[in-house]
Amino acid sequence: MDTLHLRNRRPLSWEEARVATAASAVSEREAEQQKTFVKSRVQVDEENTMDIPNFHDGFFDGFRIKPDKAVHLFLRTSDQTVYTLILSGVRAMKISGVMKGNIILDIVARTAEEMSPADMEELYGLAKNVAQASALLVSAREQHLQLLELNPSYGAEGLILFEKWEIAPNASQSAE
């Protein structure tokens, strides 16, 4: 059951809770779809949108760190179409659990306003250092950075703090 986010209210009757839960589930699901790369079209800026393939049950094939603060993530959809997700202005990166056959649950891009101190603690490997995590979060927000979250069904997971992204199909490559 999805979480209810009702504050400062009297206790709810069973019927009110059922209706509120259904409404909450729809809005949470819609909000999550707005942030994930499972969606087919995302807003890049006020005037432009970008088509994004569905990576759910696709594959994370690896990454390359470039000297110009860029990271290339090599991804495949479940139908084996190959893409490169290019992140520029990378400030920090933590990828772990890389295994043969990394299966993607979802890829989520969050704005600086959607990040939390816990994200900074995880990304920078801080041991519950609220002051340092908060300072890093303030800095990320001041620079209007984004956070990419790679969530696995199996294998690799990660967080990458970056400025901009783009996705490109790899026409010259095919999955083996």
Q: What pLDDT, on a 0 to 100 scale, did the predictor assign at position 130?
A: 81
Question: Quick one: tokens of 114?
Answer: 């959607």
What HEC string does the chain produce? Answer: CCCCCCCCCCCCCHHHHHHHHHHHHHHHHHHHHHHECCCCEEECCCCCEEECCCCCCCEEEEEEECCCCCEEEEEECCCCCEEEEEEECCCEEEEECCCCCCEEEEEEEEEHHHCCHHHHHHHHCCCCCHHHHHHHHHHHHHCCCEEEEEEEEECCEEEEEECEEEEEECCCCCCC
Inside any domain, residue 10: no
Q: What is the mean pLDDT of each run of 10 residues along the chain (176 residues)?
A: 35 44 41 45 53 88 96 95 95 95 92 94 89 95 95 95 92 54
Whole-angstrom distance, CA of residue 169 vs CA of residue 84: 6
Inside any domain, residue 65: yes
Total domain count for the chain?
A: 1
Inside any domain, residue 139: yes
Question: Quick one: tokens of 101?
Answer: 């056959």
Whole-angstrom distance, CA of residue 73 vs CA of residue 65: 9
Inside any domain, residue 5: no
Q: What pLDDT, on a 0 to 100 scale, did the predictor assign at position 31?
A: 43
Inside any domain, residue 116: yes
pTM: 0.72
Q: What pLDDT, on a 0 to 100 scale, did the predictor assign at position 84?
A: 95
Whole-angstrom distance, CA of residue 111 vs CA of residue 12: 34
Inside any domain, residue 32: no
Inside any domain, residue 109: yes
Question: Quick one: tokens of 8?
Answer: 């400062």
Domain that holds residue 95: 49-169
Q: What pLDDT, on a 0 to 100 scale, did the predictor assign at position 17?
A: 43
Inside any domain, residue 152: yes
